[in-house]
Amino acid sequence: MDNIKILSCMIFLLFSTACSSKNNWPYPMTPFFAECEYEGKVFVDKAYLDRKRAGGCIKGDFKYYDRGEPVLTND
């Protein structure tokens, strides 16, 4: 019975961390960079937001790539 409780707890923690929508990037920074494949341009942060508001890529959709976790320091 204890094994079932532990297993249930582990599954709950796994799903809760995997489904989290919070990211560590401050606004307006994005946790990804977007590429317009046919245009050969890459957009991040404010440039991506501006381009998305303007209608996105001319041909096709954005391809998204992960930027990893930010390293924010007060140097």
Domain membership of residue 42 (yes or no) is: yes
Domain contains 11: no
pTM summary value: 0.51
Phi/psi for 11 (5° steps) reads -65, -45
**The Cα angle at residue 54 between residues 58 and 60, in degrees rounded to 5:** 25
What does the pLDDT look like over 32-72, one tens digit per residue? 888 988 888 888 888 888 888 998 888 888 888 888 766 66
User: How far apart are the C-alpha atoms of 17 and 29, rounded to whole Å?
Assistant: 21
The answer to whether residue 39 is domain-embedded is yes
The number of distinct structural domains making up the chain is: 1
The answer to whether the bond into 28 is cis (omega within 30° of 0) is yes
Confirm whether 37 is domain-assigned. Answer: yes
Cα 11 from chain centre: 23
Q: Residue 31 domain-assigned?
A: yes
**Owning domain of residue 43:** 22-75
